[in-house]
Amino acid sequence: MKKFLVTSILLLGMLIVVGGCDDNNETLDPVPEPPQGVYTVTGDSEVYIWWAGPYDNDIAEFIIYRNDQGPDAPYVEIATRVAEPNPNLDLIFYSDTDRTVQNGTTYWYAVASVDNAGQISELSAENVFDTPRPEGVVSLFDVAENPQVSGFSFAGKVPVSATTSASDVYVDRFEDVFYLNAGYLIFPDTLAFRGYIQDVGYTENFDDIGWSPQNGWSQLNFVEIIQGHTYTILTEDNHYAKMWVTGINTSSGRVDFRWAYQEDEGNPELVAPNQPSEPRQKISKAKALQ
C-alpha cells in the first residue's frame, strides 16, 4: 500500500452521521474512492498529471502527491485541484502540471480524493513515475553547405561543427537525399562513429515515441532523413535522445528538427503519455545493443 504524509487538516470527526438516522440505525458517510486512470506526460522541467475522478457527487477536491525515492516511499502533498460539480455521477477528467521538478530526476506521483467532510481517500493505485528531460528545436545544414552548424550536441543543446567530437549527430546530403549520421566527420569523408541511431518511422506527433526501442539500430550508423519521421539516438555516453523532422529545405540545404534528450543516463524515457504498470529500468548501452 502506498504511504503518504497527511498535510491537510481534516474536519472534526472522521465519520459523519448523515440525515435520516436514529440511535439504532446510523448511516455513516463513507471515505471517498480514490481517483483512477492516473498517468503523466513528460515535459521539459515539468510533468503533466492526468486522472479521472470517482463516480461521486460529494468530492470537494483532489490532492496531488509526489516523491523522488520510489513507489514505496512516503508521498508528500505538492498541490490541490478543486473538483467539478458532479450531480449526474459522470466520469470527469482532470489535469495539473508540476513545474517544481528537475530534468533527469525520476518522480513518482499519486492522487487522492477529498470529500466535502474533509475525508481523504487512499492514494491512487497506478504506479506512475516520470523523468522530465530537456527538449527544443534546431535547424541543421548539409555539411557541404555549412559545416559549422551541421552537427548537434545533445548535452550542449546547441548546433556544432560536424568536425568536432562534440557532435552527436550531423546532416549531410548525397544526390539530393539528406542523411542523419551518428557521430562526427573527419575530413575529407571519414565518419567517426559515436553512438547509434535508428529510424522509428513516421509519427503524427513528436510525443508519439515515448520510449526508445531497444533494438533496430542502424548497422551503418546513418539513416535517410524523411519528413515526419522520428529518429532515436543512443549517444556514446549512454544517453537516449530523439529527433523529429519538421521541415526539409532542399534549396538551402537545411533540415528542421524538434528534439528531446534524456539527461538521466541509461533511461530510455523520452516522453510517456501512458505509463507502464511497472517501472522501466535503466538500461546499459551494452544491454541495449544485445
- DSSP state letters, 147-179: GGGSEEETTTTEEE-TTSTT-SEEEEEETTEEE
Q: What is the pLDDT of residue 269?
A: 86
CB 198 within 8 A of CB 232: yes
Q: What is the pLDDT of residue 28?
A: 76
Q: What is the pLDDT of residue 215?
A: 87
What tens-digit pLDDT sequence spans the chain (290 residues)?
Answer: 666 554 443 333 433 333 444 444 445 789 999 999 999 988 999 999 999 999 999 999 999 999 999 999 999 999 999 999 999 999 999 999 999 999 999 999 999 999 999 999 999 999 999 999 999 999 999 999 999 999 999 999 999 999 999 999 999 999 999 999 998 888 656 667 778 999 999 999 998 998 899 889 999 999 999 999 999 999 999 999 999 999 999 999 999 999 999 999 999 988 533 333 333 343 433 434 44
Q: What is the pLDDT of residue 188?
A: 59
Q: What is the pLDDT of residue 280?
A: 38
* Cβ neighbourhood burial of 24 (10 Å; 0-12, 13-18, 19+): exposed
Give the right CATH number for 4-130 from 2.60.120.920, 2.40.160.60, 2.40.30.170, 2.60.40.10: 2.60.40.10
Q: What is the pLDDT of residue 192?
A: 74
Q: What is the pLDDT of residue 33?
A: 97
CA 42 to chain centre: 2
- 3-state secondary structure labels for all residues of 36-74: EEEEEEECCCCEEEEEECCCCCCEEEEEEEEECCCCCCC
Cell numbers given for 136: 527544443
Q: What is the pLDDT of residue 193?
A: 74
What are the sequence ranges of the domains in the chain? 4-130, 135-288
